Structure 1
Amino acid sequence: MDYAKLLRLLSNSIDTSGKSGRHIVRFLQPDHYNECLSQLLKYRRIYPALRSIRSSSLLQALFCSLRYPDSTFFEELGLLVESDSTISVHSSASSSKERATDIPWGVKRIGAPEVWSVSTGYRIRIGVIDTGADYSHPDLRYSLGRGIHLLNRASLPHDDNGHGTHIAGTIAAAGGAQGMIGVAPRSLIYPVKAFDHNGSAFVSDIILGIDWCVRSRMNIINMSFGMKSTSQALKNVVRKANEAGIVIVASSGNDKKQRTADYPAKYAQTISVGATNRDGKIASFSNSGPYIDIYAPGEKITSSWLGGGHREMSGTSMATSHVSGAIALLLAARPNLTPGEIKRRLRRTARPLSTSQARARSRPGEVSAVRLLRGKIERRGQG
């Protein structure tokens, strides 16, 4: 490959203002990517525009804004160019301020308190790719690792939206009597801030977040966001994270659709989550159908919020955090389970939905921490 020619073309095509849209340039040959990255460091001195390029070793890709992406030229060099799409958190269907509750109804619903004598998720590492987290929140004082701020690498991933803090609270809050307790209170959340204050991100930021989670050896990635169209780059990096042994939990979306789910939940390598209400029925806003692997409480969920407070929110985002917490409980007790084994176990041990909604035995049910860890609980009881 003529790296000098490629880097010269990139330099001439890069729009540092970002107004031309962002692009993902993927290499089909790993050695080509590695050599290009090496050359890029040298050519940055000659072509300052190249300094704006970001890279993902997991995907073997470059991210930049191109004025005129010449797909033919790139293809001749064994490269693929894809538009860098925007993606949004699965925002709540309702939202209201709430006072703290010791154990929220969703945590009780899935039976988490009943398994805490066996597992609290101790030391399970969960990358939450979201809007960040409130590091000063009393509920999360012992629950947060450093994480990463992908929009400003010099800063901690502080939450300026609230969504990520809410997700972190449901998974791992340990506020005790003065706050709330999440599903896996001794697991560790590593906030990966890829989303801005509006809850919006680029696919490239998600890819960089997944790349960081793999390098940082997360056990679980929580992805409470989605988009309607697929991205080959995102699909590839999700597959690679799955192959690295990371369990990926993704929200299916709040569109009331019965035969689809948003991406990345629709990818086979994720655990796709729908939402239920207090009655154990599929929530009115939740997507449902064959692309859903498991359901979990997602309606009127109280959790941690910015400024040390709490807020009630609804959405498949909230359901996803319950499932990530339940998997953390399982992994702390059974650390050698693979992502595929965990997905099958989740489906097999799920609590059936109401009769009217469970028309077929193959339809997924609602997550149950008690059923998920049944063998461990029974052995503890016998001891």
Structure 2
Amino acid sequence: MDASEIVERLYESPSTLKDVGRRSIFRFLDPDDYDRFLQTLSSRSSSGKRFRDIRTLDLVHAVSCPSDTICLLPSLNGQVYWEEDAPIQLHALPKGAIVSEKGIPWGVRHIQAPRAWSRTTGLRVKVGVIDTGADFGHPDLHHSLERGINLLNRLAPPQDDNGHGTHIAGTIAAANALHGMIGVAPRSTIYPVKAFDHNGTAYVSDIILGIEWCVRHQMDVVNMSFGMKTKSRSLLNAVNHAYHSGVLIVASSGNDGRVGDIDYPAGYPHTIAVGATNRASRIAKFTNRSSSIDIYAPGDRIVSSWLSGKQREMSGTSMATAHVTGAVALLLSHKPELTPAQIKTIVKNSAKPLKNGKALRSAGELNVTRMIKASENA
């Protein structure tokens, strides 16, 4: 089957299958085949043909479209790799109470970020946050946000309609010392990448598009506080592409309390995989843990920014991941020449040993003082 035949199969037609709403990804194993497919699709579209909901994923030479359309395609004789465009879940537990807290939250203080602010505050570091967007009117984030991108509606700003992304952004880079809170890297810049809707729902293809945007716009570090149980080869390819492009991804391990298994993309080797601890520097009961965890950080009852200018207490490996992303921003502001591999090594090797004597782990807890000191020898 050539490119024109594939495009013809994607032509919009009434669906008779039961799995409407589900999506699939097909990835061209030969980049030249993908280019020919795009050229054919473009020519058919310009001739007036209407095609169903197709997303081109240039970063991995793939296309996402409704599963009922994919299922109509015959075998492509090994030219294309198929997989489900699977749903992805945010990694936060049920919402906590709305609170009002000023100053430095316990997690930011616990990892000793304030001790580093005389040397580094995250200045000139670009942080991509692939999430639900951010509250651009929040006083804690007024000086911390750039426009970013709304992948769900390219004509609209990435305004948060869920709250999760705003909470993550606050932990990383809130900068409202007089009337609000301060994040780990208060002079870093957050670029919200809205890939999740108001229900916190997204697909693998949304995340790949988010990673592609972050690579193209030269983010230094990307926060990904979400995951799924199954592997996606397309997402793995996107993560690896970012890593080799100099963009480090920090990802959360999940909140199912599993031992020996964590979610993806945290489970991929070219991310920093994060688990959660509590105030006592013990691994939180809800966190997934395994030897794949690279670092633990505060994730239990974390206060950060919320919608409508409010603050909220939240728990989850999502919150832990934001602390690590902020710490990486401090590190990159201090030593911008560091590669993703060097950063991951420094973060892991400078960790503070945990108190859990019997926990399945090879990682310790994030400590910014130790991290900055370790970077001097990198």
TMscore range, shorter length: over 0.9
Quick check: 2:20–2:67 contact (8 Å CA) kept in 1?
no
2:261 alignment counterpart: 260
**Residues 46-61 of structure 1: pairs in structure 2 closer than 5 A:** 46=47, 48-50=49-51, 52-61=53-62
Kindly tell me: are residues 16 and 23 of structure 1, through their superposed partners in 2, closer, same or farther at Cα, counting changes over 3 Å? farther
1:32 alignment counterpart: 33
SS at match of 1:311: strand
2:210 alignment counterpart: 209
Amino acid at match of 1:366: E
Q: Give the count of matched residue pairs.
A: 376
For residues 185 and 46 of structure 1, what CA distance do their matches in structure 2 show?
51
Quick check: 1:14–1:64 contact (8 Å CA) kept in 2?
no
SS at match of 1:75: coil
SS at match of 1:373: helix
Amino acid at match of 2:267: K
For residues 100 and 16 of structure 1, what CA distance do their matches in structure 2 show?
54
Listed one character per residue, the Cα deviations across residues 318-340 of structure 1 (whole Å, up to 9, x for unaligned) are 00000000000001111111111
Quick check: 1:74–1:80 contact (8 Å CA) kept in 2?
no
Normalised TM-score (structure 1): 0.93
SS at match of 1:50: coil
For residues 116 and 356 of structure 2, what CA distance do their matches in structure 1 show?
27
For residues 358 and 286 of structure 1, what CA distance do their matches in structure 2 show?
12
2:219 alignment counterpart: 218
Q: Which moved more, 1:71-80 or 1:153-162?
A: 71-80
Normalised TM-score (structure 2): 0.94
2:4 alignment counterpart: 4
For residues 229 and 65 of structure 2, what CA distance do their matches in structure 1 show?
23
Q: Which moved more, 1:297-306 or 1:52-61?
A: 52-61
1:275 alignment counterpart: 276
For residues 253 and 236 of structure 1, what CA distance do their matches in structure 2 show?
21
For residues 75 and 3 of structure 1, what CA distance do their matches in structure 2 show?
10
Kindly tell me: are residues 58 and 16 of structure 1, through their superposed partners in 2, closer, same or farther at Cα, counting changes over 3 Å? farther
For residues 291 and 52 of structure 2, what CA distance do their matches in structure 1 show?
44
Quick check: 2:346–2:374 contact (8 Å CA) kept in 1?
no
Kindly tell me: are residues 350 and 314 of structure 1, through their superposed partners in 2, closer, same or farther at Cα, counting changes over 3 Å? same
Return the offset for 1:48: 3.0
For residues 254 and 72 of structure 1, what CA distance do their matches in structure 2 show?
37
Return the offset for 1:81: 2.3
Quick check: 2:223–2:249 contact (8 Å CA) kept in 1?
yes
For residues 214 and 129 of structure 1, what CA distance do their matches in structure 2 show?
12
Amino acid at match of 2:368: A
Kindly tell me: are residues 14 and 354 of structure 1, through their superposed partners in 2, closer, same or farther at Cα, counting changes over 3 Å? farther
For residues 13 and 343 of structure 2, what CA distance do their matches in structure 1 show?
45
Q: CA RMSD in A?
A: 2.2
For residues 363 and 82 of structure 2, what CA distance do their matches in structure 1 show?
37
Return the offset for 1:13: 6.4
For residues 173 and 194 of structure 2, what CA distance do their matches in structure 1 show?
17
For residues 109 and 332 of structure 1, what CA distance do their matches in structure 2 show?
20
1:76 alignment counterpart: 77
Return the offset for 1:316: 0.4
Q: Does 1:127 align with 2:128?
A: yes
Kindly tell me: are residues 95 and 9 of structure 1, through their superposed partners in 2, closer, same or farther at Cα, counting changes over 3 Å? same
SS at match of 1:337: coil
For residues 45 and 14 of structure 1, what CA distance do their matches in structure 2 show?
21
2:364 alignment counterpart: 365
SS at match of 1:26: strand
For residues 36 and 56 of structure 1, what CA distance do their matches in structure 2 show?
12
1:374 alignment counterpart: 373
Kindly tell me: are residues 110 and 15 of structure 1, through their superposed partners in 2, closer, same or farther at Cα, counting changes over 3 Å? farther
For residues 365 and 48 of structure 1, what CA distance do their matches in structure 2 show?
56
For residues 60 and 114 of structure 2, what CA distance do their matches in structure 1 show?
39
Unaligned runs of 5+ in 1: 379-383
Amino acid at match of 2:372: L
Amino acid at match of 2:10: L
Unaligned runs of 5+ in 2: none
Return the offset for 1:67: 1.9
Amino acid at match of 2:89: S
Return the offset for 1:199: 0.8
For residues 3 and 121 of structure 1, what CA distance do their matches in structure 2 show?
47
Kindly tell me: are residues 107 and 20 of structure 1, through their superposed partners in 2, closer, same or farther at Cα, counting changes over 3 Å? closer
Kindly tell me: are residues 376 and 244 of structure 1, through their superposed partners in 2, closer, same or farther at Cα, counting changes over 3 Å? closer
For residues 357 and 21 of structure 2, what CA distance do their matches in structure 1 show?
50
2:328 alignment counterpart: 327
For residues 142 and 236 of structure 1, what CA distance do their matches in structure 2 show?
34
